[in-house]
């Protein structure tokens, strides 16, 4: 696997895939190669299909989709045997709406974060609609207090964008700076010198706060980004503006928040309310 691993890593880098995608593709490829007999170079198309069927019984459709993507890349690009995966299709992933945190729940969560840095990271994620990876990797030069914006660099699919810098967030970042005195240019440093805080450390802090506040909703740090978009929509923000702030390439990705926005759902009256007399008919 070492030779295949190194070549696949090179191919992923040449195509400018993100670090997270590279890591996931290589992990999935390692799992597959460990199962491929006698080797991935001699495996048949039928064997690949049977492997995906076996995986489908043990993993969620979303996980299987990632494995399919990695195997397709392995054979189409790295091993140059596209005919082996020509009939390998992505599984249908169920569309589930996210649980949305209320403003009060977010306030309770942030108050339960004991580390000033972790609290600042999570507040940045909510206040600017960032992905956790984007918030963790911020540099001091990305915070433009004069213009009131944050410059997000190299976001998903390599897209840069600007987002608003809330006055509340700016005050929080300044308070965190006075307490922790991080060494520039990294705004949120990790344990290793010269490295940003890890996503795992932020997720762990979030999980502890969620347990401490007794929240039962199925939420993760990424839920703060969902809440950002939904709350903006509730407040009347234009969906195209929200799309730009989130960095979505397609308006369809942003439109999903109309399905969870209470303001959008409740502003449309039910036909039941328009019945004669305003009362339901008696049986």
For residue 149, the cross-strand partners are 144, 164
- Dist CA 136 CA 187 (whole Å): 8
Per-residue pLDDT tens over the stretch 148-163: 999 999 888 778 999 9
Question: Is residue 1 pLDDT above 80, yes or no?
Answer: no
For residue 256, the cross-strand partners are none
> What confidence tier does 268 reach under pLDDT thresholds 50, 70, 90?
confident
Instruction: Domains for the chain: give ranges and CATH numbers.
Output: 2-84 (1.10.150.130), 103-265 (1.10.443.10)
Annotated active-site residue 225? The verdict is yes
Per-residue pLDDT tens over the stretch 240-255: 999 999 999 899 999 9
Strands in 90-182 per DSSP E: 143-144, 149-152, 161-164
Residue 262, both tokens:
């209470």
Q: Which of 99, 124, 108 is nearest to 210 (CA)?
A: 108
Which among 156, 203, 208, 256 is annotated as catalytic?
Answer: 156
Annotated active-site residue 252? The verdict is no
Which among 72, 118, 131, 231 is annotated as catalytic?
Answer: 131
Annotated active-site residue 156? The verdict is yes
Annotated active-site residue 231? The verdict is no
User: What is the pLDDT at residue 246?
Assistant: 96
Question: Is residue 12 pLDDT above 90, yes or no?
Answer: yes
Annotated active-site residue 151? The verdict is no
Q: Which of 30, 10, 110, 126 is nearest to 71 (CA)?
A: 30
Per-residue pLDDT tens over the stretch 186-206: 999 999 989 999 999 999 999
Burial grade of 267 (CB within 10 A; 0-12, 13-18, 19 or more): exposed
Per-residue pLDDT tens over the stretch 58-93: 999 999 999 999 999 999 999 999 999 999 999 999
Which among 248, 267, 274, 283 is annotated as catalytic?
Answer: 248
Which among 81, 222, 256, 264 is annotated as catalytic?
Answer: 222
Annotated active-site residue 131? The verdict is yes
Which among 199, 225, 226, 231 is annotated as catalytic?
Answer: 225
User: What is the pLDDT at residue 221?
Assistant: 97
């Amino acid at each position: 696997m070492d030779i295949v691993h190194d070549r696949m890593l090179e191919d992923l880098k040449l195509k400018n895939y993100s670090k997270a995608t590279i890591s996931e593709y290589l992990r999935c490829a390692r799992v597959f190669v460990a199962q491929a007999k006698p080797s991935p170079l001699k495996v048949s198309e039928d064997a690949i299909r049977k492997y995906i069927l076996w995986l489908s019984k043990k993993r969620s459709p979303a996980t299987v989709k990632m494995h399919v993507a990695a195997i397709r890349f392995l054979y189409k690009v790295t091993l140059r045997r596209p005919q082996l995966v020509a009939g390998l299709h992505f599984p249908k992933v169920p569309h589930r709406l996210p649980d949305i945190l209320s403003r009060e729940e977010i306030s309770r969560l942030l108050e339960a974060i004991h580390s000033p840095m972790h609290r600042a990271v999570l507040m940045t994620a909510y206040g600017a609609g960032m992905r956790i990876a984007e918030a963790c990797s911020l540099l001091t030069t990305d915070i433009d207090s004069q213009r009131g914006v944050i410059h997000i660099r190299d976001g998903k699919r390599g897209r840069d964008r600007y987002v608003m810098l809330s006055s509340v967030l700016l005050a929080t970042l300044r308070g965190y700076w006075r307490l922790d005195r991080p060494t520039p240019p990294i705004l949120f440093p990790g344990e290793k010198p010269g490295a940003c805080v890890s996503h795992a450390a932020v997720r762990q802090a979030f999980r502890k706060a969620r347990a401490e506040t007794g929240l039962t909703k199925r939420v993760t740090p990424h839920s703060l980004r969902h809440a950002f978009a939904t709350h903006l929509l509730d407040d009347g923000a234009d969906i195209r503006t929200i799309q730009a702030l989130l960095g979505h390439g397609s308006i369809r990705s942003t439109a999903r928040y109309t399905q969870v926005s209470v303001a959008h759902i409740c502003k449309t009256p039910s036909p039941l309310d328009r019945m004669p007399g305003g009362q339901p008919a008696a049986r």
